Structure 1
Amino acid sequence: MTSRPLHTDPRLILLSPADNCLVAAARLLGGTQIEIEGERVTLTKTIELGHKVARHELAKDDKVLRYGAVIGHVTEAVARGAHLHTHNLESDYLPTYTHDAGHEFVHH
């Protein structure tokens, strides 16, 4: 007997099995009920096309994975189905150059 994967709204795309975020394949209005892996959640705000949604609950400082790679960490606790964006997601990418008082970029 094989187990079926739990249903997720087809307007949400899982890019890699390791990801803890989903990507909106359509604009989803706040108040819309969606299903994420068998659990019904109500969106608290509008999610724009291409924006990220939490696949699971995330604790402050949890890493966010997209395409199986860390893209940043959350700056506060995040509920399943919450919008992940600049208000609660901080990039973990380090700059590869600095700008030094009007001089050329210095590569490190």
Structure 2
Amino acid sequence: MVNASGPPGFLVHHDGDVVAVAVRDLEPGVVEGGYLRKPDSVSIEVNHPVPLGHKLALVDIAEGADVTEYGQRVGRATANIGKGDYVHVHNARSARWQNSVA
């Protein structure tokens, strides 16, 4: 369960996702989050500011690896991404705009 001291800072949509979504602006430091479909909570050391609605890495993601959210591949890492890093256009590319050759 998410810590009773306040609302969660981020939400994990699906068990096994490698990214979560910030539900408020996040600053570096330890942030508590929760899962959409289970009562578990998770704490992550956030390394960079993450704006509301943007993604943060729950695990280390190697360059070229899939980025999964909602239990689906939503993108590909274009650089190594560390656990707690801000995941955005500087280190990931949307799967929506990729073709089978990319």
TM-score normalised to structure 2 length: 0.72
Structure 1 unaligned runs (5+)?
96-108
Larger radius of gyration: 1
Call closer, same or farther: CA 1:79–1:17 in 2, change over 3 Å: same
1:101 corresponds to: none
SS at 1:49 equivalent:
coil
| Aligned equivalent of 1:20 | 18
Overall identity of the aligned pairs, in %: 25
Question: How many aligned residue pairs are there?
Answer: 88
Matching residue of 1:45? 48
Between the two structures, name the one with larger relative contact order (CA 8 Å, sep ≥ 6): 2
Equivalent of 1:10, from 8, 29, 42? 8
Query: TM-score normalized by structure 1?
Result: 0.68
Q: Does 1:90 align with 2:93?
A: yes
CA RMSD of aligned residues (A): 2.5
Q: Is the 8 A contact 2:64 2:77 kept in 1?
A: yes
SS at match of 2:96: coil
Q: Residue 75 of structure 2 aligns to a residue in which SS?
A: strand
Q: 1:40 to 1:65 in 2, by over 3 A?
A: closer
Q: Which runs of 5+ in 2 are unaligned?
A: 34-40
1:37-84 deviations in Å (ceiling 9; x for gaps) = 76652x332110010000100111110011111111011111101000
